[in-house]
Homo-oligomer: A and B are copies of this chain.
Amino acid sequence: MENNLSKQINFLRQRSNKQLALHMRQLAAPKLLKEAIDYSILGSGKRVRPILIYLVVRALGAEIKHADKPAAAIELIHNYSLIHDDLPAMDDDDMRRGKLSCHKKFNEPIAILAGDAIQALAFEVLAEANELSLSTRISLIRELASAIGASGMIGGQLLDLSYEKKKIQLAQLEYMHSLKTGALITASARMGGLVAGADAATLSLLTNFGSALGLIFQIQDDILDCTGNEDQLGKPKGSDEKKGKATYVTILGLQEADRRLQEQCARASDLAADLGPDGRILQELTYFIATRKH
């Protein structure tokens, strides 16, 4: 990873954390609900999706302050999805980012309600982004709502659960991930385009770039679940395998999974290059995500 990108990523992660902290300070809620929401939002998240939207906005020559609220909204959605994903009825995960998951720290009803409230907050934040035109705000809300709904992220989670302990084909795994993680990552790239007023051709390029990035993210996730360091991961290793979940590694083996990761990196890199000279930072982000350790 180049030092320059590393600095930018740290800067943008801090910017995202500050924005989230601001929204948390403004949020009124009954005490326990507020605590559970703060606990889940303020922490050590990687902030990959906010960083992606910031970098796309910058690559397209727009001001990153215009991405502050869309970035916060995307990260709120990501965090609500993690809270619900960790529930006993879902993935039943006790740990998240090196600390107790929301329902273990509080309880199950609070975790369900915290997730529900955070989803609503994401749309409130977008609707209140007065620094963006009404038309941009509506486009962003449509994009986000569609990406996280029944034919997007939530549809992917349903497939993920229904595939558990089943022998599935690579095509099914890819389709499931294109919804479960891909839809929100693609939406992040496209929302960057919408903030920057990108034309249809650029939005289409960003869709393809986001889709490659989503695949890279997921393949590397599966590789880390098999080879990673538990302290860095913040959760037990091999947890997917224990749950009888198919992964790129269990279906393809480590070597072939890595080959496909490299293939997608080349694809994403070519797409980023098509954005012009400022696309270079997105090429660097691609390799950063492909080589992350947690």
**Residues on A close to B: CB < 8 A?**
27-30, 32-34, 37, 81, 84, 87, 89-90, 107-110, 112-113, 115-117, 119-121, 123-124, 126-128, 134-135, 137-138, 141-142, 145-146, 148-151, 154-155, 157-159, 161-162
Check if B127 sits within 8 Å of A158, measured CB to CB.
Answer: no
In-complex Cβ contact of A27 among B37, B109, B110, B151 (8 A): B151
Closest beta carbon of chain B to A239's beta carbon, Å: 17
Q: How far is the CA of A107 from the CA of B161 in the complex (A)?
A: 11
- A33, A123, A126 pick with most chain B CB within 10 angstroms: A123
Check if B123 sits within 8 Å of A141, measured CB to CB.
Answer: yes
Contacts A112-B87, A123-B145 given; does A117 touch B154 at CB 8 Å = yes
Check if B110 sits within 8 Å of A158, measured CB to CB.
Answer: yes
A33 to chain B: which residues have CB within 8 Å? 150, 154-155, 158
Closest beta carbon of chain B to A33's beta carbon, Å: 4
Closest beta carbon of chain B to A209's beta carbon, Å: 24
A32 to chain B: which residues have CB within 8 Å? 158, 162
In-complex Cβ contact of A142 among B27, B124, B149 (8 A): B124
In-complex Cβ contact of A162 among B27, B30, B135 (8 A): B30
- Name A103's closest neighbour in chain B (CB-CB): B89
Closest beta carbon of chain B to A121's beta carbon, Å: 6
Q: How far is the CA of A123 from the CA of B115 in the complex (A)?
A: 16
Q: How far is the CA of A107 from the CA of B88 in the complex (A)?
A: 13
Q: How far is the CA of A56 from the CA of B250 in the complex (A)?
A: 58
